[in-house]
Each structure stands twice: as C-alpha cells, then as structure tokens.
Chain A
Amino acid sequence: MNIKMVLRSLGMILICEAIAMMPSLMVSFIYKDGTGVAFFYTIFILLVVGILCVIAVKPENKTIYTRDGFAIVAFGWIMISLFGALPFYLSGSIPSFIDCIFETVSGFTTTGSSILKEVETLPKAILFWRSFTHWIGGMGVLVLTMALFPITGTGAFQVMVAESPGPIPGKLVPKVANTAKILYAIYVLFTFAEIVLLVMAGLPLFDACIHTFGSVGTGGFSSRNTSISSFNNVLVEIIITMFTFMCGVNFSLYYQAIKGNFKAFLKDEEFRFYLAIVLGAILLISIDLCGNVFETIGESIRHSSFQVVTIITTTGYSSTDFNNWPIFSKVILFFLMFIGGCAGSTGGGMKVIRILLLMKSTKTELLRIIHPRGVYPVRIGNKVVEEKYVGEIKNYFFMYMLIFVIAVLVVSLDGFDMLTTLSSVAATLGNIGPGFSVVGPLGNYSEMSVLSKLVLSCAMLIGRLEIYPILLLSIPAFWKKVNI
C-alpha cells in the first residue's frame, strides 16, 4: 500500500471537513447558542491534523492503485465520522461518545437514524451540522474533496469507484475532478431550488435548510420530533417527495438533460424500472390504506406516495406514523428498503440497477435450461453487460444478505420484537433511517445497547460504501506490505 499517498489524501479530506463545518460555525454565531466554541475547536483540530498530513508527508510515488483507493475511502469515512462527532460531544448536546458517533455516521451515510429522543431543544448549530452531514455524505465526501482539490491525479478514479454508488463505474467527462465538479454543481442547484420552494411553501428558512439537506442527500434527519408530519403541510410534502425522488435518480441523466438530451430519461432502463417500482408500490399501498387507515383516496395517495418515495430513496422522512399501517403496506415498505435508489444517485440500498440485473440474469438462467447451448447476454438498454459485472452483482447480493443476517443476530441479543430487530438492521444497512415498531418513525434508536449501536454504525458505513471498502479492512492480506 502507498501509505504516504493515503495519508496525504486523508489530510485533504479532513481539511475538506473543516471547510464543511464553517457554515455550522456561522449558524452558531447567528443564533448565539453557545456551541461556537465546540465547532471552533473541532475545526482547529481538523485543520491542524489535515494540514500536517498534507505538508509533512511527501510521497515519492504518486500512483494510487485500487487497494489504495479503497483504503482512502474506508479510512476517510471512518475519520470524518470520528471527527464529525466532536461538535456533538464538545458542546454537550449528546453526552455519550458512542451516541455521538452513531449520530454522525448516521448523518454522513445519509441514514437518518437517530438516538435522540428530543431534537427540538437542541442548539440550532448542532441541528444544522447534524443535517449538513447528510448533504456532504449524499454526494460523497471524496467527491467533494476531488471537486475542491486536485486530489490525486492518476488513480483518482479508483477513489471514485470505491465511493460512488452503483455496480458499473462511470464518468461524465474525461477528468475525474471535472466530473466531481459537475456532480456537485447539479447537487447545489437542486439544494437551492428546494430551499427556495420550501420557504415559499411556508417553512421558516432554518427548517427549510434542514429538510433540504435531509432530502437532497436522501438522509432523513429532521428538526422536529415528529419529522414532516409536524408541519401537516401538503405543499411541503409534495416538494420533499419531488426532490427526494429526483435525488434517487442517476445524476448522469441530469447531465445528459443539461446537454439537451432529454430522451436519456426515457431511454434509461434503470430509471424506467425505478419509476415502475415507485408507481406500483404507491398503487398497492393506497389500495391497502384506503378505507382502512385513511378515509379518502386523496389522503391515502398523499401519505402512501410520500412514504414510498422517502423509503425507496432511503431518505426516511415520515408524514404520518406508518407504524400503524396494515402489515401488507409495511411489508412493501420493508422490501423497498432493500431496493434503494438508482446507481449514481445520493440514495442507498442495493440500488435499482442491481435488482434489475439480477432479474434479467435469472431470466437468462431459465432460458438456458430450455436452450442449453443458447448464448444469452444480459443487456441494459442495448448494451451487453459484461459477465464479470453480473457475477459481481450476484456476489454483492449474497454479501448484503450475509451482513444483514449477522447484524440481525447481534441486534437480536437486545431482545426487541422481531419487527424492530429486522427493520432496524434493514433501515441502517440500506441507509433509510426509521424502521418499524420501537425504531419506527416516532421512535428512535436510543434504547439499543452499546454493542448494537456500534454494529448498526458499521452497517450504515458498509451500506453507504457498498460493502467492499469496509469489509476489506477485515482481511489480513489487505494490511500486509508484501502481498503473497
């Protein structure tokens, strides 16, 4: 491993985190909530460590191989989570450090699971930072670093591959750094648009910001205990549904659209499948809810569409307590947690494209029984997907399930009911946030044991970074200098 280069890149990530903390520092000055010192110290520590890493380490060899790229991503995310937890701890808002870490990881991985029972009394700057971590984590910390610094030159692609969601890596333009800039430009555009719309819909600016960060990053932290339902504002729900849906779509499609190719949306098979799942789920749940939970069709559609979109994009806001819904609706939502957003979006989960490819691959397996010598490539659009990627996806599916099972086993030690245990792991591994029962939309994760909190934090990181970077850390060969 090229340790020096990894250290240097980590230094840059920390500097980026310091920059990302500046807005929160400003918020604490505006509201004078007494958390300025906590942010000031954290930024100071981040800058010292970051600049030391960048200046003191002089790598002779600037190449980054795949292994180094994965190391940068894995360590980078662990580091930003540790340092990002400092403001919560130093300001005394969250007394236990484990809880601070859980909350920060949940923020950066855009999960939105909280251990806080009471958020409305928290200092404004702390709330702001909590949600701002969603915004950074949504598009990616390293993508941000690459957009701001000329991070690595060659090999930067390895880092992007390791961080960005989806099975088949892609760039928008030849240079990784420019790709990162374009992605963030689109992202910032969405962010501003949503803030403006939410303010127009009647939300105070602060709440508008918090919920924008939560929805474009597909995170789910709210400034209210009862999430979106506390506003009881249809317009707000529509705006948030729209933006979470948009951010669950592959961002490269927006780039195509900006370049004038609007047909890209219709041509993209993943997008069509995503749309179909969303519409299908809304239809089924609406039918299930109508007359059962809500009186009118309108009310059923309002809440089912909000809930379906917010769960499939792995945001996790709630417009109503869906824990009281009938079991059929809850099971659909539970399955949506596994599907997640599209590749190249800010959403989590297993990604629509993987599910689509798995289904297509299953079909070819069946056809192969009928025509044993038939050649059946798996196609997306008109392009043949290489056998290598299909194999990787099958393995990914297995790993995802394996990790799900292991985490469920550990959490089950806490002795919660079945629904809580299963949904808490599914909701953290898929970066959704709330599950059902104890961890439902009105509940939280504060009653979990320390062990469960740590395991779920790991699950969030594993889910966000798509398993491999974090899992690699547990393989001895990854650490060895001489690798035989």
Chain B
Amino acid sequence: MKIIIIGAGKVGYNLALELSKGNHDVTIIDNYSEALAKAEENLDVLCIKGNGVSTNILLEAGIKDADLLIAVTDSDEVNMVCCLTGKKLGAVKTVARIRDPEYAMELAMLKEEIGLDMVINPEHAAAEEIALSLSFPAAIDVENFAKGRVKMIELKINDEMPVAGVRLKDLPNKNLQSALIGAVLRDDKVIIPKGDFQIKNDDIVYVLGNTSGLINFLKLCDVAQVKIRNVMVVGAGRIAYYLSQMLNDMGIRSKLIEIDREKCEDFVSYLPDALIINGDGTDEEVLKSENIGEMDAFVALTGMDEENLIAALVAKQNGAKKVIAKISRTNYMGVIHKLGIDNVICPKLITTRHILKFIRGNSVETLYRIVEGQAEILELIATRGSRIINTPLKKLRLNKDAIVATIVRKNHVVIPHGNDVIQEDDRVIIITKDKNISELDDLL
C-alpha cells in the first residue's frame, strides 16, 4: 500500500516504523528537517520537507496513487485541511488526528464533510483504555475483542498465586471453561504455551475469555475481583475530562485534584457532578488528607511525565490499590515497569495502535501487539469459501506458531478444543508469532 504520513512527530514516526516493516511504501512529509532527518536515518521511508497542506508537496509525495493519507501534525486544523486536500487530489482513504473536544463533538459532521475515513482522538482513546483497565483492576492491562464480548487480561504471576509452578493441563478444568492462556511473556520472550507448559513466578500471562470466564480464572489465581468504586485522578486535562464522564457512566465515583485554580473552575463548569479539589497531586499531605489509602485506584494524568510517575509511586506507597500513570515519552517504558506502577498509559502509542488497526483493514478486526510485536493477537472473520471452516480443528494442520484462542459465534464465546469447528461468520481470535497472517487461510 502507498501511504503518506504528514507529521514526523512521535506518532508519525512510530506509524512509519511499523508500516515500513509491513511492506508498505511510506512517504513522510514534515516542515522540520530535524524530525525528518531522524526518520530518514532510521527508517526505510521517503522523506519530503515541506508543508503537508501544500498541493505541490502532496503531488510530489505521490498523492494521486496514494491509498492512505494520515495527518498527525500537532494542529487539528492542519490535519483536517491536509485530509481535505488529499482526498480531493486522489487519496483513497484519509485519517486525521483531531483532539480538541469542541471538534470531537461534531465528529460525525466533520467525517462526512471532509471525507475523513477515520478520526483519532488520542485523549479520548487514552481515557477509554484507562476506563477499561479499571474494569479489571487485578490485571495489568485489558483489551477488548469482538466488540467487547471477549476480553484479554494481562496478569503478572507471583509466588503467592496457587497457579505458580502448575502445568497448564493440571489446572482445574471448571475454572478454565471459558478462558484460555494464550501467550506468556517470560524474560522478554513471548511463548505460546502448550499443555505441558509450566507457569512460573514472574511470568506475565495473557488470558482471553468472556467476563465470567476471566473472573473464574482470577479466582483460581486467588486474586479477588474487587469492583472499583472510588478513583482519584490527578491533573485536569482532556483525558481527565473524558475519563470522568466514562467513570460516571460506569457508576464509579471520582475525585479530581488539580493545582491550577482556573482549570478547576473550568472543569466544574463542564462536569457539575465531579468532585474537584484544588491542590498539588504530588504532595503526599494532600493525597493523605484526601484519604488516598481508601482509594481503589489512582490515576496520574498531569502534563509532566516525572510528576505522574512520582505521584503514582507516592499513592502506591500510601495504599492505593491500583495506580496508573500517563507518560508521553516512551523512552523509559522499560524502566517504569520495574518501578511497581500497575499500568502505564501512553496516548501516542495508543494512537499509533488505533491507526494501525484501521490500516490492517477489513479482514482483520482488532490487532494487539505483545512486546513490540513479538506476537500479535488478531481477530478475523471466517468468510464463506475459506478452507478452514466446517472442519474439526484437530484435523487441520495449523501453523505451529499460531493458536486459535477463541471463537465468537453470535453472542456465544467458545474456547475451542480439537473437536470444535469454525463456521461461517464466526469471529476467530488468533494469537500468532508469525507476522504474515492476515486472513484465516494463512493459518494452514
């Protein structure tokens, strides 16, 4: 596919990185030569210096034959105009990042008028991700598949859990009826476990299943599934705004701490129901006086990475059960995981992932990557004529690096065994280490 990316910032760079690996022809346009130089040096892409709004530059980048135009500059307006011009000049599909909440409300109109095929709002996506992970507090991370009918949780195993040291086939069956361990991360390597795989301390397991199946699995691990009732949020930005609304809908009470008086007042006017406290969220005294120890979760969303991390650590030390921190720089992802913060949210990575999902297109519904793409979780729809349907799985010679994790048939979730059959229109969730799978027949 021929893809043009406007904006060589973090999101643009990461997108180009992933896409150029996946056999796409990527051209990046940016005004700043420094950002471009980095892309040119490290990526197999074509870089053009110039303004992405300019028709000439777009033509030079080959917009006429482009299959996709992605506008991810830091300005909403520039992104919209780029997509508008691009579409008129011949781009087949356009994607824009639009983050201003005021535009966000008019998305439907914008999409139609400008001809945008996808709009990504990083802050909204980040808030969604946080809300999702709060729905399974024991897990490090949660991801939705099949429109939420199947969930995947990421769970760290420790010595106290009874499952540690047990082989998969020895796990009690009744707890695993509708959940499955799809992948295990051990020493930074992804393993797709078979029956005689032994779970060890410090493994990170990826479990798929429907909600009740996952709750059963958590019981097996002796992790009580407490429902989150109170959340403390620090930093009144756009993510906090979306998150408060979502939490409100989920029936979770939230308390927001913000250092800037004016912002507090603005916020109250947008969200009359929320409790807003004017204070420094990184100050231990403030947190204690707002009884942080009683909070089920703590989310740090200020604009400063360091403050978020410190605040999260302070909260964890003072007894918050689950702490989440937002960071914008991905450079120290590796270090943060060792600090003891339960979950780290990076809006730019989420944006990248959402756009990648969109590009993967129609046959692939959802895409989730484990450890920088060592393994992928794909959701595919079985179509008529596929060679895989209507044959029991044990009779198919499936790719060794892939497993069929779940089959979703209407509202019914099946964890497949040898005798199960994939039928037409089933949604099939596949975990694979082979990157060349984009449809079901590739499994054979």
- Nearest-CB residue, chain B, relative to A158: B41
The answer to whether A173 touches B33 (Cβ under 8 A) is no
Is the CB of B20 closer than 8 A to any CB of chain A? yes
The answer to whether B33 touches A174 (Cβ under 8 A) is no
**In the bound complex, what is the Cα–Cα distance between A171 and B25 (angstroms)?**
12
Is the CB of B63 closer than 8 A to any CB of chain A? no
Is the CB of B304 closer than 8 A to any CB of chain A? no
The answer to whether A174 touches B45 (Cβ under 8 A) is yes
The answer to whether B26 touches A153 (Cβ under 8 A) is no
Is the CB of B203 closer than 8 A to any CB of chain A? no
List B residues 1-43 near A (Cβ within 8 Å): 20-21, 25-27, 33, 40-43
- Nearest-CB residue, chain A, relative to B40: A157
A-B contact count (CB 8 A): 31
The answer to whether A175 touches B41 (Cβ under 8 A) is no
The smallest C-beta distance from A157 to any residue of chain B, in angstroms, reads 7
**In the bound complex, what is the Cα–Cα distance between A314 and B27 (angstroms)?**
34
List A residues 137-161 near B (Cβ within 8 Å): 153-158
The answer to whether B44 touches A176 (Cβ under 8 A) is yes
The answer to whether A157 touches B21 (Cβ under 8 A) is no
Q: Which residues of A contact B20 (CB under 8 A)?
A: 154, 174-175
**In the bound complex, what is the Cα–Cα distance between A177 and B21 (angstroms)?**
13
The answer to whether B33 touches A154 (Cβ under 8 A) is no
Is the CB of A386 closer than 8 A to any CB of chain B? yes
The answer to whether B25 touches A154 (Cβ under 8 A) is no
- Nearest-CB residue, chain B, relative to A64: B42
Give the interface size class of chain B.
10 to 19
**In the bound complex, what is the Cα–Cα distance between A63 and B45 (angstroms)?**
15
The answer to whether B41 touches A174 (Cβ under 8 A) is no
Identify the interface centre among A63, A154, A174: most chain B CB within 10 Å of its CB: A174
**In the bound complex, what is the Cα–Cα distance between A176 and B20 (angstroms)?**
11
**In the bound complex, what is the Cα–Cα distance between A107 and B41 (angstroms)?**
31
The answer to whether A174 touches B46 (Cβ under 8 A) is yes
List B residues 44-101 near A (Cβ within 8 Å): 44-46
**In the bound complex, what is the Cα–Cα distance between A158 and B44 (angstroms)?**
10
Label chain A's interface by main secondary structure: loop
The smallest C-beta distance from B142 to any residue of chain A, in angstroms, reads 32
**In the bound complex, what is the Cα–Cα distance between A156 and B43 (angstroms)?**
9
Is the CB of A66 closer than 8 A to any CB of chain B? yes
**In the bound complex, what is the Cα–Cα distance between A153 and B25 (angstroms)?**
13
The answer to whether A173 touches B25 (Cβ under 8 A) is yes
The smallest C-beta distance from A116 to any residue of chain B, in angstroms, reads 42
Q: Which residues of A contact B33 (CB under 8 A)?
A: 386
Q: Which residues of A contact B25 (CB under 8 A)?
A: 173-175, 178
**In the bound complex, what is the Cα–Cα distance between A229 and B70 (angstroms)?**
59
- Given the known interface contacts A174-B25, A174-B27, A386-B33, the answer about A154 and B43 at a Cβ–Cβ threshold of 8 Å is yes
**In the bound complex, what is the Cα–Cα distance between A177 and B44 (angstroms)?**
9
**In the bound complex, what is the Cα–Cα distance between A220 and B132 (angstroms)?**
70
Specify which of B21, B41, B46 is in contact with A171 (CB 8 Å cutoff).
Answer: B46
Q: Which residues of A contact B46 (CB under 8 A)?
A: 171, 173-174
The smallest C-beta distance from A71 to any residue of chain B, in angstroms, reads 16
- Nearest-CB residue, chain A, relative to B16: A174
The answer to whether B26 touches A174 (Cβ under 8 A) is yes
- Given the known interface contacts A66-B41, A174-B45, the answer about A153 and B27 at a Cβ–Cβ threshold of 8 Å is no
**In the bound complex, what is the Cα–Cα distance between A155 and B45 (angstroms)?**
11
Identify the interface centre among B40, B44, B45: most chain A CB within 10 Å of its CB: B44
The smallest C-beta distance from B192 to any residue of chain A, in angstroms, reads 22
The smallest C-beta distance from B287 to any residue of chain A, in angstroms, reads 42
- Nearest-CB residue, chain A, relative to B21: A153
Q: Which residues of B contact A176 (CB under 8 A)?
A: 44
Q: Which residues of A contact B43 (CB under 8 A)?
A: 154
**In the bound complex, what is the Cα–Cα distance between A93 and B40 (angstroms)?**
46
Instruction: Identify 16 residue pairs between A and B in the complex whose beta-carbon atoms are under 8 Å apart, listed by A's number.
Output: A63-B42, A153-B21, A154-B42, A155-B42, A156-B44, A157-B40, A157-B44, A171-B46, A173-B46, A174-B25, A174-B27, A174-B46, A175-B25, A175-B44, A176-B44, A178-B25
Q: Which 9 A-B pairs have the closest CB atoms?
A: A174-B46, A174-B25, A174-B45, A174-B26, A171-B46, A174-B27, A176-B44, A175-B44, A154-B44
